[in-house]
Amino acid sequence: MFEILSLKNGIENVSGFFCDGVNCGLRPNSEQGDLAFIRSEKISNIAAVYTTNRFAAAPIQHALRYGKVFEGNFILMNAKNANAMTGKKGIEDIEEILDALPKELELVNPVMSSTGVIGYRLPKEKIFAGIEKLDFNAKNSDAAATSIMTTDQFKKELCFQVTLEGGSSFTIAAIAKGAGMINPAMATMLCFITTDAAVPKEEMQELLQGATDSSFNKISVDGDTSTNDTVYLMANGASGVYDKEAFKVALDRITFELAMMILKDGEGSNKVVAFEVVGAKDDNEAKIAAVNLSNSLLVKTALFGEDPNWGRIASTIGASGIECSEETLKIYYDNLLIYSSQKPQLDKKTEERAYKIMKQESFKIRCELGMGEGSYTAYGCDLSYEYVKINAEYRT
Amino acid sequence: MFEILSLKNGIENVSGFFCDGVNCGLRPNSEQGDLAFIRSEKISNIAAVYTTNRFAAAPIQHALRYGKVFEGNFILMNAKNANAMTGKKGIEDIEEILDALPKELELVNPVMSSTGVIGYRLPKEKIFAGIEKLDFNAKNSDAAATSIMTTDQFKKELCFQVTLEGGSSFTIAAIAKGAGMINPAMATMLCFITTDAAVPKEEMQELLQGATDSSFNKISVDGDTSTNDTVYLMANGASGVYDKEAFKVALDRITFELAMMILKDGEGSNKVVAFEVVGAKDDNEAKIAAVNLSNSLLVKTALFGEDPNWGRIASTIGASGIECSEETLKIYYDNLLIYSSQKPQLDKKTEERAYKIMKQESFKIRCELGMGEGSYTAYGCDLSYEYVKINAEYRT
């Protein structure tokens, strides 16, 4: 038995963690930060899930020298420049930057995490100057969360306090960024999770991978997989408290809620849609169909048009290559049956209900395949003019 | 040795073929046709390539009873209704419609081909009335080509006359439609090819599949695979002339040119881009990378924005899962080197040239991977506001 309480703000609630963010000129003519850090007083267990992109950015190549689970106490983050496709020079830049951090911080295995444009070297002088401005004893989660934003419309920050039977408690907090380039085939965007729970090192990776698989790996904004996506979990054990079951529930919940925030903030997105596929031959086939639905341009534009064009749902399932049959296929929008017995189930009245369902900020499209027991839910969003505008203009 | 001459107009040039198109009310309040046919005086060899979508539409399910190569003399086409996801009733509708055609046509294995909205039964009464209006002895290729259009902005019709050494000649002509829902994983859109060449039945399928693979299967508008895509080749032998090599060249050329017309007319598309991948581990890996590039939303929006954002090209290759390395990757826009040796090769002057290249109606993005000898070229287009608009509003 345990209780999970949502706290205001983010990382400042977690014992032994410090964070801050400042503007060092990467984001020109702006008050908004572009350089941030998270620091733990104690050496923490750190687990990471990185992008599956073969051109993993320099910060990931650099961090991989420590393995996927390591001990450390510092992450430096920057926006506006991904430090990707920059080769060995990109890694050397990181080493130089991390070397410039104050010696009194006694950094152990410090890492860096970057997001922004691909293919340009980091402007080191700006970052050196930014380091001078950072307060390494601050507890300014808001500044850190806003500093890592790119095309994000709102900051993503959450904190839970978990109280176990008997009254002992630990805290878990996370900040994240993401908006475009979100795809379920990988670790997805940037997310930094801190906790004062005493998570054993050997359980870190399994817990983080599980949480990532059931959250960030289930969402898709545009089907593109970035070079920089990273999820870090830092556990410093400062609370002295740990319960695996409670921690797993809290971690899964914080990552899932952040994933939904990212999807809601998908570039130009107006609604979040759950694509629930059940009755597939197996879970893998259900996943293929659900992910294809969440990525289909024709499905995404129909969502934007708020048109219950279920034919595109059917066509996308058929095109996905999985086992399916017209005879057993049923399609629901929320709980409204739209297609079954090889014909649309819409009359005037239900068609009106379908339109109403599609006007919601979030709803579910459920496809029953009747082929077996496999199921999977993927989460997607609509594709609007705004997405095209944001991405046509991004670099310039 | 042979000579290929482009002729004006389309199917009317081919001996022994008749075609026409009329409006029967499927396309409301319009002069434009919506019901068309192609008829051969002689029994023709017919080969077909159909969609890989598991929910192949009723016309395809109906035609498959004859196998993929068969003898016949008649194709009936309609727009605005795909007759897909309509089950056995959809096939019975086709049988009834084909039975209503005039007995004096002496039809052998007639087939139907439909395009339009998924999930609604064909309005048979309208089609019966339309059949009354069709002139089965007309040679009106223009009417047939315009009748099968959906969101197409222009009709697609081509004709070549092929003259062999010695002066004997045959003719090949085709009409096609397509605009959205174009994806390389299948036979793609509707295309009807007629020829008076005496193509042996046993060579029909191989020739058509080869031509389809190097044309329609290389283009992508939106990565979606329709339920109805079909390519038919009808050879009636009326010329008595055949030369395999010459016929293959003419067939490959007519399908490739039609594929480029379809891409140029891609929904909301402003430019056609060739994604040439060379130096992959093998041809299959080159194909994966090229197809991923042609389907990436971030690449497509950068094309629309005319921004030489090569980072998205690199990221997409890395995300495709094929073997690649930053160290050996080179990216060219047309012949302009943009990225190599792990850094961008753009200065002020070349950046200006890159912008100029991107403003063209068509250009090439060439990626050299340095992993092996594999190569493949896929063809794509940009993604504009217009695509979103067309597809958000399509059904309503």
What are the pLDDT digits (tens) for A243-258? Answer: 999 999 999 999 999 9
Residues 6+ apart with CB under 8 A from B351: B308
Q: How far apart are CA A148 and CA A156, in angstroms?
A: 10
The residue from A115, A150, A171, A188 that is catalytic is: A188
Give the residue range(s) of CATH 3.10.20.340 domains in chain B: 272-393
Q: How far apart are CA B90 and CA B93, in angstroms?
A: 5
Question: Cβ of B385 and A388 within 8 Å?
Answer: yes
> Taking 90 as the threshold, does the pLDDT of residue A20 lie above it?
yes
Average pLDDT over residues A151-175: 95
Question: Cβ of B52 and A183 within 8 Å?
Answer: no
Q: Burial code of B19-46, b = ≥16 C-beta within 10 A, e = fewer?
A: bbbbbbbbbeeeeebbbbbbbbeeebbb
Q: How many CB atoms lie within 10 A of CB A107?
A: 17
Question: Cβ of A309 and B394 within 8 Å?
Answer: yes
Q: Which of A230, A303, A233 is nearest to A266 (CA)?
A: A303
Q: How many CB atoms lie within 10 A of CB B7?
A: 15
Q: How far apart are CA B289 and CA B320, in angstroms?
A: 6
Pick the CATH number of A2-264 from 3.30.230.10, 3.40.50.720, 3.90.1570.10, 3.60.70.12: 3.60.70.12
Q: How far apart are CA A78 and CA A59, in angstroms?
A: 11
B302 or A100: which carries more pLDDT confidence? A100
pLDDT tens digits for range A65-85: 999 899 999 999 999 999 999
- For an interface test with A, the pick among B52, B85, B313, B338 (most A C-beta atoms closer than 10 Å) comes out as B85
pLDDT tens digits for range B189-231: 899 999 999 999 999 999 999 999 999 989 876 667 788 999 9
Q: How far apart are CA A47 and CA A205, in angstroms?
A: 6
The residue from B86, B150, B188, B225 that is catalytic is: B188
Question: Cβ of A318 and B118 within 8 Å?
Answer: no
- Kindly identify which residue of chain A lies nearest to residue B56, measuring between CA atoms: A318
CA A231 to mean position of chain CA atoms: 8
Q: Is A179 helix (H, G, I), strand (E, B) or coil?
A: coil
Question: Cβ of B304 and A117 within 8 Å?
Answer: no
User: What one-character DSSP code corresponds to residue B137?
Assistant: T
Q: How far apart are CA B83 and CA B89, in angstroms?
A: 10
Question: Cβ of B324 and A297 within 8 Å?
Answer: no
- Kindly identify which residue of chain A lies nearest to residue B386, measuring between CA atoms: A385
Give the residue range(s) of CATH 3.60.70.12 domains in chain A: 2-264
A85 in Cβ contact with B311 (< 8 Å): yes
> Taking 90 as the threshold, does the pLDDT of residue A384 lie above it?
no
Query: For all residues of chain A together, what is the average pLDDT?
Result: 92
Q: What does the pLDDT read at residue A305? A: 84
A201 in Cβ contact with A45 (< 8 Å): yes
Q: How far apart are CA A287 and CA B210, in angstroms?
A: 33
Q: How far apart are CA A276 and CA A388, in angstroms?
A: 27
Q: What does the pLDDT read at residue B184? A: 40
pLDDT tens digits for range A105-154: 999 999 999 998 888 999 999 999 999 999 999 999 999 999 999 888 89
- For an interface test with B, the pick among A391, A394, A396 (most B C-beta atoms closer than 10 Å) comes out as A391
Across the interface, of A89, A185, A339, the residue whose CB is closest to B119 is: A339
Q: What does the pLDDT read at residue A185? A: 35
> A119: which strand partners?
none
Q: What does the pLDDT read at residue A52? A: 87
Q: What does the pLDDT read at residue A26? A: 96
pLDDT tier, A179 (very low <50, low <70, confident <90, very high otherwise): low
Across the interface, of A226, A298, A388, the residue whose CB is closest to B181 is: A298
DSSP code per residue over B14-80? STTEEEEEE--SSSTT-SS--EEEEEEEEEEEEEEEE---TT--HHHHHHGGG-SEEEEEEEEEESS
- Kindly identify which residue of chain B lies nearest to residue A52, measuring between CA atoms: B319
Query: pTM here?
Result: 0.86
H/E segment holding residue B192: strand B190-195
Across the interface, of A53, A185, A388, the residue whose CB is closest to B383 is: A388
Residues of chain B falling short of pLDDT 70: 179-188, 221-223, 387, 390-396
> Taking 60 as the threshold, does the pLDDT of residue A188 lie above it?
no
Shortest CA gap A359–chain B (Å): 13
Q: Is the dihedral of CA B117, B120, B125, B128 positive or negative?
A: positive
Question: ipTM score of the complex?
Answer: 0.83
Q: Is the dihedral of CA B120, B121, B124, B127 positive or negative?
A: positive
A·B CB contacts under 8 A: 224
DSSP code per residue over B221-282? SSS---S--EEEEEE--TT----HHHHHHHHHHHHHHHHHHHHHTSTT---EEEEEEEEESS
Shortest CA gap B245–chain A (Å): 34
The hierarchical CATH code for the domain B272-393 is 3.10.20.340
Average pLDDT over residues A321-325: 95
A290 in Cβ contact with A381 (< 8 Å): no
H/E segment holding residue A392: helix A385-393
Question: Cβ of B311 and A383 within 8 Å?
Answer: no
User: What one-character DSSP code corresponds to residue A139?
Assistant: B
In chain A, residues with a C-beta closer than 8 Å to the C-beta of B88 are: 342
Q: How far apart are CA A289 and CA A303, in angstroms?
A: 17
Angle at A227 (CA atoms; ends A225, A230), nearest 5 degrees? 90
pLDDT tier, A186 (very low <50, low <70, confident <90, very high otherwise): very low
Residues 6+ apart with CB under 8 A from B159: B6, B7, B8, B9, B10, B11, B13, B14, B171, B172, B173, B174
Residue B14, token pair as written in the block:
């081919």
- Kindly identify which residue of chain B lies nearest to residue A328, measuring between CA atoms: B87
Q: Burial code of B283-304, b = ≥16 C-beta within 10 A, e = fewer?
A: eebbbbbbbbbbbbbbbbbbbb
Average pLDDT over residues A171-192: 72
Q: What does the pLDDT read at residue A396? A: 40
CA dihedral B299→B301→B305→B306, nearest 10 degrees, is 30
Q: Is B328 a catalytic residue?
A: no
pLDDT tier, A178 (very low <50, low <70, confident <90, very high otherwise): confident
Q: What does the pLDDT read at residue B393? A: 64
What Å distances lie between residue B327 and A203, A316, B312, CA to CA?
36, 38, 17
Q: Using N-to-C axis directions, what is the helix angle for B297-304 and A385-393, rounded to 10°?
A: 70
Q: What does the pLDDT read at residue B221? A: 67
Q: How far apart are CA A172 and CA A20, in angstroms?
A: 18
Q: What does the pLDDT read at residue A183? A: 45
